[in-house]
Amino acid sequence: MSPTPASVIRGVGSCLPDRTVTNADLVTAGLNTTDDWIRTRTGIAARRRVRPGTSTGDLATRAAKAALATTTVRPQLLILATTTPDHPCPATAPQVASRLGLTDIPAFDLAAVCSGFVYALAAADSWIRSGAADSALVIGAETYSTIVDPADRNTAILFGDGAGAVVLSRGLREEPGAILAVDLGSDGRGADHVMIEAGGSRHPTTPNTLTPYDSSARFLHMKGREVYGQAVRRMTASARRTLARLDWPPDSVGAFVGHQANQRILDAVADRLGIAPAHRHGNIHDVGNTAAASIPLALADVVARGAVRPGTRTLLTAFGGGLTWGSAALTWPDPAPLAPKEPLMTTTEPAVYDHLVHLLETKFDVSEPTPDATYTSLGLDSLAVVELFVTLSDHWSITLDDTEADPELTVGATADLVERARDERG
């Protein structure tokens, strides 16, 4: 009897913005809460947020590069799970593929909110097992800081930005990293539990069509109590169905990674499944809820620490707006380790930002520029900003678009532009 084919995870990578926002930072910014209140109710101590000018596509590209660095597989398909695309149209995935040098492959966005990565993993698994593709790159990437109201205590304390990615190729079910079973579901009756009301075809974001809706309609709103109950029930049921398809007893699962939404939810699901605390893995304490990016970010974190032995029975489960939910059973992957000192979770390299600051201080006589400072606030006119762009282009051997040399651009956003140009240069 011939071995059974499967899609197998060959590479794992991630990217987190370099800006950390702690609970204390939120309180200082005026949010009506406390560090103890947030920790007790969510398990979150900090989250990462992008600087102005950094997009979901930027994070996705960096995470994908980190994943591709751990394997020799060249993807024939790219799926980007996200709720925060760079633009409503076109999809962000083809641009990410292009920046990776993958200009000839199918690439598309997938929107299933916090369940997005599991949905995308299931889709890629189907493509590979059907023979439609031999390999795939699956990315979960989000910049929720762009859609969360900073004054809304229900959401501002939860969400962070980041991206995680996995590379899959055709292999055997007996290999470490093999996807063995998936379970997906949805219930549109709960669509209003997690929703951005404006911005779609029903309520376009124009001054006339927003009336009688207020400006908060462009932000994410969540019914926390309803989401909690649905998340616990749906993830538990989905996980049980997935385990049953493989005849895996819950106590045989050696690695459990749930969507990093809320530590209470994660514990409630794991307790109901009967999975021991020692086998539960996550990073919500440090990065918060990163929606579709949360599971691949947690996977990359555990892989980087070598905390799970390759081949270990693994269960993933997620719940998101829609309502959507899903689970996947696999064996823990065995990607090649990253090279020493490889920045697994970073966006702008410190060398880029540090060089920019040094240039501003020495060439343009700017005193202690900060990432959020605009060039107008630093006293630079439009010609000076163009000269800055030319100098940066010469130093890094890159091409910067002079049309983006806007005095209202921030220092942090400029560093991201340089990093993006360096990525595209290869």
Q: Catalytic amino acids?
A: 114, 259, 289
Going from the C-alpha of 65 to that of each of 53, 137, 160, 333, 346, the distances in angstroms are 20, 10, 21, 18, 12
Give Rg (Cα) of the chain: 22
Angle between helices 56-68 and 411-425 (to 10 degrees): 40
